[in-house]
Amino acid sequence: MNHSIATMISEDEIEKRVKEMALQIDAHYKDSESLILVGLLRGSVIFLSDLARRLTIPVKLDFMATSSYGSSTVAGEVKILKELDEEIRNKDVLIVEDIVDTGNTLAKIKEMLLLRNPNSVAICALLNKPSRREVDVKIDWQGFSIEDKFVVGYGMDFNQLYRNLPYIGMVTFND
């Protein structure tokens, strides 16, 4: 499939926004002794790594991998492919996501994590596509709000390619 990639959000813009978000998260959790960053694999890995390095508060890192399935007319079930290694009871949990699209998977993950009795569960997403939202999901820290475009880079992929791009690119398919 023939396609091209144009820069949507530059490496410098991402770096600046991640630093700003880290300052806000540091301030919010300054009294927490038990913050766990939960990255949703695979797309969040680069964002989570950069964010974690900018935080000055102590944090633990953990990961979940999910897949959703179901018909296009009904919100699919979320299948856990990789479960958390850390116990989150009485801990503060910050879900770190690359992009929030429909919100279905993220809402279900948050609901599942809340059943484990953490102190809190919040969401930090690099990208938000509000025009695609099907479920109301509160994003506590958001990097950028974008239009409904197909994007790659900075952890996001097209057929597992382009995750390593240092910027966020918009994919255009050519006939």
Please give the positions annotated as active site. 101
Give the single-character DSSP code of 132.
G
Phi and psi angles of residue 75, each rounded to the nearest 5 degrees, phi first: -60, 125
Three-state secondary-structure class, residue 107? helix
SS3 readout for 143-175: EEECCCCCEEECCECECCECCCCCCEEEEEECC
Nearest to 99 by CA among 69, 63, 130: 130
